[in-house]
Structure 1
Amino acid sequence: MSLYQRKFRAFRIRTKAALFYKKVPIRQHVSNGDEERYPNKIGNYSKGLPHNELGEVDLDAYNKYIAALDSGDPDAFENIPLGGGRKLVNPQAAYAYELVGPDSHQLVLPPPPPFSSAQLAGEMVEDYWQALTRDVPFNEYETNPLTIAAAKELSSLSRFRGPTINGQVTPQILYRKDLPGALIGPYISQFLWKDIPYVGTEIVQRYRTTVAGDDHLTSYEDWLAVQNGEAPPSSSTFDTTPRYIRNLRDLGEYVHNDVSVESGLGAFFILLKYGPEVIDPNNPYLDSDTQVGFATFGATHAVDFVSRAARPALLAAWFQKWLVHRRLRPEAFGGRIHNKLTGAADYPIHPEVLNSKALALIFEKYGTYLLPQAYPEGSPTHPSYPAGHSSFIGAMVTMLKAFFNENFVIPNPVVASSDGLSLIPYEGTLTVGGELNKLAYNISIGRDAAGVHLRTSGINGLKLGEAIAIGILRDYRETYNEDFEGFTLTTFDGEQIKI
């Protein structure tokens, strides 16, 4: 092939990918209607703006915030009135373009459950139970009275959408997501427990965590200050001993400190140490007598794709967060519940959360109906839907499924002891596919357990990230010289696809 032919072919590959997305029909993005339904904006994100004593946003500030988002004018964002020192997290990312995979504005998510719905009430009941059970070791879920009560109450809710067995939530599947293979075995993925090989050494996955009972924003004064963007009124108290992740508090602290790619890269390095048997069977170099993969279909190819998928997934999430849904955080919804039950305001909140046992226990323990936060600052200053962590881990896990054999059985599986100080052999069979899906929901639900997200923000974030990764794989499909049949993987919905 001449240099001229090469240049023309490169142009054709890039043009074909661009034309593919140009031909994708325009789809409308639909919110749940809360922003139009409630003039006082009680169903939408407003943290960081000024609020009144009920935690309801100043409407003049909200209108300027919406005007900035509608215009996309960088100068307009500098004129959004803030209530305190906390800044909004990167709303202009919603307008950024990505040169590989689908444009962030082309992917559509279903609207989240409305403010007054039974489904949102059920998600809040789950968040309250997660706050109550942050310190219960996963190993003790089947015997602890709190986790048994949580499973029982979640089973009774009319619109709860977590996994069930014969129509019932059980302690064994409490707070999980029903992804292929992910309900098998321990709650935490092997990829968050096993040592990570790294440049001639190994990283032991014992992490700094906070002490039992280290909860925040349970007083109304503190809650209101943080809604206004003021500095956190308290700070975390840390355990002096690093631990393997053994409960929701540890998991929540892990996803408090990661930047984005750490969990996916850790899984990549663990998988790499298992050798050729864990490589995806479609890899064109598995049967070669003379070659091995490197820049294509080797470790450098895989690690690039796994890590590069995270940012485009976040761009897609940020578009949905800021320009479509602007869903309120569970922290803010807890304030609405508190003001409703104390008679300070009358909000259309579904009775299944107002009458829940979880909420009664919260009030008994803290003296308010606020959702206890694992982080002193509460939620980040960006909207809740979809979850950013879910989006990037959904993309990274999808890439890992494309490059590795989902059916490979993980050798010598482990489970963390109840004190988080050691790993114990686990007697059972765990596959790469199941444990990658488990990793996805661990990173997702860890944010729910901290009090900053809700179930639907997580599962739809995973699917958004998956769509981004599939698009990237598709765009690169014609760039290889090897005789390659295509990437195969199992989606979060259980569908086997080839790209």
Structure 2
Amino acid sequence: MSRSIGLPAPDCGARRAAARARRDAVSPLADHRGDGVTLINGEETAYGMSFPANYHKGLPHDVNGAVHPPSYHAMVRVLTGQETGAVETLPMGANRHGAGTAEDPIRLTVPGNETAPPSDRLGYRKLTSPFTGHVFENQGADAAALGFQPAPRLDTPELAAEMAELYAMALLRDVPFTAITDGTGPGVAAVVSALDSMPYFRPGFQADTDAEQMRYEMRGRITSGADLFRGSTPGSKTGPWLSQFMIAGNRNDRATFQALDGTPAQGNGAGPGFRGVRANFGSNDGFVLFGTQVIDQRSIVAKPGIDYMTNWASWLDCQNGVDFNNLDVFLDRRRYLTTPRDIATYVHYDALYQAYLVACLLMLAEGRLFPKDRGLPETSSRTRSAFASFGGPHVLSLVTEVATRALKAVWRQKWMHHRRARPEAVAGLLTLHANDPDRIADESLRSTIGRLHSMIPADILSRVAAHNTAQNASTNAAVRIKPRPAGEIPAGLPAIADATNYLLPMAFPEGSPTHPAYGAGHATVAGACVTVLKAFFEMYGDDGRAERMWPLPALVPTFRPDLSGNADEGGELVPAPGSPMLTVQGELNKLAANVAIARNMAGVHYYTDYSESVRLGERVAVSILEEQLSMYPEPVSMSFTSFDGDRVRVSGNGDTAGVQIFADGQKVPAEVWYARYGG
């Protein structure tokens, strides 16, 4: 019998025992990640039986948008109690006002043919993954280990600031990012002036709670277009609004086209009689290499000027669960992400971890410009190169793998704790109060919405009302959801005046998804995926202190100032103005902020959904990295700066692993850091 000249050590039974010991050693790490305490804001029981601050889309509502109380109680009981059988008895779609029947159809009209019969009857929407928060996890932090601060209450300056910003985003939805940041876009100066007048966006604001005060200090003041719609993380406030990772491509400048006789070809292409060694393109062409294929950073985007849910009938239909999905109207060409509507369309259809996979591919293809973290074993080795461990296959799989763990954590917050109403529901309350406050049955709620109304700048509200009036009169679309004829609208709807129509103009025909706000799935996945990228790739310069600078040209999409939709608007990338000093880590932070805040630009999330959720995703990712590094039989470490500006180092010594946190030069216990945003 032949034998090899060497066997792995340990092997067989000894290896099995060692594997079990490693797995057992990981379990105690879970005891140092917070106790999962999550405090709620108390509004679920504050306004009688109407639950105005909580999510109940798809359940039956009356004509004023108030949920049927027994249905809401049943939903909460079923979801928190894991009654998987009883969930089938919830009255989803039961009050669609006949949608799907001949007696009371929803009409979809085509301009030029408004007399056509209604289209196929629309279905209703279902609750999205309501039990995910109960699922256990065997890698990284359990979904219940990491908590959230209470969500802002309806009558707080923070919530007023969030709603004012959402209205502002809707008003500027078709203004290019470059015209927003330099203040030249139509309406930008007025929006900045209105927001800057709010106490929450002024210096010296003092909040009633520590959580609100902390978020205020991270967010910063709005004094110019350059401050609008920015994230609260290092780098997200620097340079162009859009991260370079959303538009830039790889350089592929090693092409050598030659004639068959050896004469160099002219230009970037090879004609007949030439042989091409490699395709030639630059970072401003926006192509990211995916093996021998390319990912084009240009996107399919929604047609400008078309918003939804701007009249009470369509708003109420959406609250009752009518399924208006996939009725978007798109521009007839692709372009780089140029406006808030463009990036809202991106996050309407993205694969959730898509932006971070593309960013990872870009950095891998430009390996000399984006080296791996110096603490990884192969980075400085003379004889080893990374592949199965700490190479492309490793980071590509992990940057997507953390997404599912992030979703479990945030879904528990959504459904099991906060059940926060979506912004469209709050806008409905503001509209109802402005037109007929007596339709709000609870006296305390009437007073609360009155205070909220008074805190939102009147100029923003009047501009929204004018915008909605114009939308409701418009037929500028291939397909439009129109208000139904009077005979097909449920009796008793409130009369909404044009001047006080404060419904939030939505970028999506269906409005928000069918799960609560706070937190946000996109934002939590963004935090987790970006954290993996910051950990795997080197974020610091040679001295290990200064951040690594962005190594490619800083770019922005082109646009025409008249916003006419001409072919060259967003059709190419040009140098960013002002030679901004960008860093790799800052652009990754900005990438997470872009994707998360894009959901706000669509009208389906609040700012605090973003700011809390990216930090939740960060903690999920660090917990997974901590456990993974404990499995390596040699020293390994990863270092980066957290979304709060803390220096984070995840390291293994060949036996166990741990997390070191330094804030302002002082060491912070890992268990304190993990529990920072819990109750």
Classify the TM-score, shorter chain: over 0.9
Alignment of 1:97-496 (within 5 A): 97-141=136-180, 142-160=183-201, 167-194=221-248, 195-232=287-324, 235-278=327-370, 279-343=372-436, 344-345=439-440, 346=446, 348-349=448-449, 350-366=452-468, 367=498, 368-406=501-539, 407-418=548-559, 419-426=569-576, 427-484=579-636, 486-496=637-647
Q: Aligned to 1:86, what secondary structure does the other structure show?
A: coil
Match of 1:57 among 63, 67, 70: 67
Q: Aligned to 1:242, what secondary structure does the other structure show?
A: strand
CA–CA separation in structure 2 for the residues paired with 1:331 and 1:166: 25
Offset of 1:393 from its aligned partner? 0.8
> 8 Å contact 2:403–2:525 — kept in the other structure?
yes
> 8 Å contact 1:134–1:249 — kept in the other structure?
yes
Equivalent position of 1:78 in the other structure: 88
Q: Aligned to 2:648, what secondary structure does the other structure show?
A: strand
> 8 Å contact 2:234–2:644 — kept in the other structure?
yes
More strand by share: 2
CA–CA separation in structure 2 for the residues paired with 1:483 and 1:104: 29
CA 1:234–1:106: 2 relative to 1, 3 Å: closer
Q: Aligned letter for 2:58? A: G
Q: Aligned letter for 1:496? A: R
Offset of 1:178 from its aligned partner? 2.8
CA–CA separation in structure 2 for the residues paired with 1:167 and 1:240: 38
> 8 Å contact 2:535–2:638 — kept in the other structure?
yes
CA 1:340–1:234: 2 relative to 1, 3 Å: farther
Percent identity of the aligned residues?
A: 35
Q: Aligned letter for 2:425? A: A
> 8 Å contact 2:555–2:574 — kept in the other structure?
yes
CA–CA separation in structure 1 for the residues paired with 2:312 and 2:435: 11
> 8 Å contact 1:337–1:354 — kept in the other structure?
no
Offset of 1:428 from its aligned partner? 3.2
After superposition, give the CA deviation of every residue in 1:8-66 in whole Å (9 maximum; x if it has no partner): 22112211222221465634221111101122101100001000111111001111101
More helix by share: 1
CA–CA separation in structure 1 for the residues paired with 2:134 and 2:80: 11
Equivalent position of 1:32 in the other structure: 41
CA–CA separation in structure 1 for the residues paired with 2:503 and 2:34: 43
CA 1:442–1:385: 2 relative to 1, 3 Å: same
Q: CA RMSD in A?
A: 1.8
Q: Aligned to 1:375, what secondary structure does the other structure show?
A: coil
> 8 Å contact 1:313–1:395 — kept in the other structure?
yes
Match of 2:127 among 88, 99, 103: 88
Query: 1:12 aligned to 2:21?
Result: yes
CA–CA separation in structure 2 for the residues paired with 1:196 and 1:238: 24
CA 1:128–1:165: 2 relative to 1, 3 Å: closer
CA–CA separation in structure 1 for the residues paired with 2:391 and 2:633: 14
Question: Unpaired runs of 5+ in structure 1?
Answer: none
CA 1:397–1:66: 2 relative to 1, 3 Å: same
CA–CA separation in structure 1 for the residues paired with 2:216 and 2:15: 52
Q: Aligned to 2:44, what secondary structure does the other structure show?
A: helix
CA–CA separation in structure 1 for the residues paired with 2:38 and 2:222: 34
> 8 Å contact 1:378–1:452 — kept in the other structure?
yes
> 8 Å contact 1:280–1:402 — kept in the other structure?
yes
CA–CA separation in structure 2 for the residues paired with 1:353 and 1:228: 29
CA 1:27–1:393: 2 relative to 1, 3 Å: closer
Offset of 1:145 from its aligned partner? 4.2
CA–CA separation in structure 1 for the residues paired with 2:538 and 2:140: 23
Offset of 1:193 from its aligned partner? 0.2
Q: Aligned letter for 1:118? A: P
Offset of 1:155 from its aligned partner? 1.8
Offset of 1:237 from its aligned partner? 1.7
Q: Aligned letter for 2:630? A: E
CA 1:162–1:147: 2 relative to 1, 3 Å: farther
CA–CA separation in structure 2 for the residues paired with 1:307 and 1:89: 21
CA 1:226–1:332: 2 relative to 1, 3 Å: same
Q: Aligned letter for 1:362? A: V
CA–CA separation in structure 2 for the residues paired with 1:394 and 1:23: 20
Deviation larger for 378-387 or 360-369? 360-369
Offset of 1:302 from its aligned partner? 0.9
Offset of 1:259 from its aligned partner? 2.2
> 8 Å contact 2:558–2:573 — kept in the other structure?
yes
Question: Unpaired runs of 5+ in structure 2?
Answer: 1-9, 97-123, 202-214, 249-286, 441-445, 469-497, 540-547, 560-568, 651-679
CA 1:8–1:277: 2 relative to 1, 3 Å: farther
Deviation larger for 378-387 or 197-206? 197-206
Q: Aligned to 1:498, what secondary structure does the other structure show?
A: strand
Q: Aligned letter for 1:175? A: F
CA 1:147–1:34: 2 relative to 1, 3 Å: same
Computing the radius of gyration over CA atoms, which structure comes out larger, 1 or 2? 2
CA 1:127–1:165: 2 relative to 1, 3 Å: closer
Q: Give the count of matched residue pairs.
A: 498
What is the TM-score with the length of structure 2 in the denominator? Answer: 0.71
Q: Aligned letter for 1:363? A: A
CA–CA separation in structure 2 for the residues paired with 1:233 and 1:99: 35
Q: Aligned letter for 1:172? A: A
Q: Aligned letter for 1:335? A: G
CA 1:370–1:260: 2 relative to 1, 3 Å: same
> 8 Å contact 1:107–1:464 — kept in the other structure?
yes
Deviation larger for 412-421 or 247-256? 412-421
CA–CA separation in structure 2 for the residues paired with 1:317 and 1:166: 25
Offset of 1:282 from its aligned partner? 1.7
CA 1:357–1:404: 2 relative to 1, 3 Å: same
Equivalent position of 2:253 in the other structure: none
Q: Aligned letter for 1:358? A: I
Offset of 1:408 from its aligned partner? 4.3
CA 1:167–1:235: 2 relative to 1, 3 Å: closer
Q: Aligned letter for 2:38? A: H
Offset of 1:166 from its aligned partner? 8.6
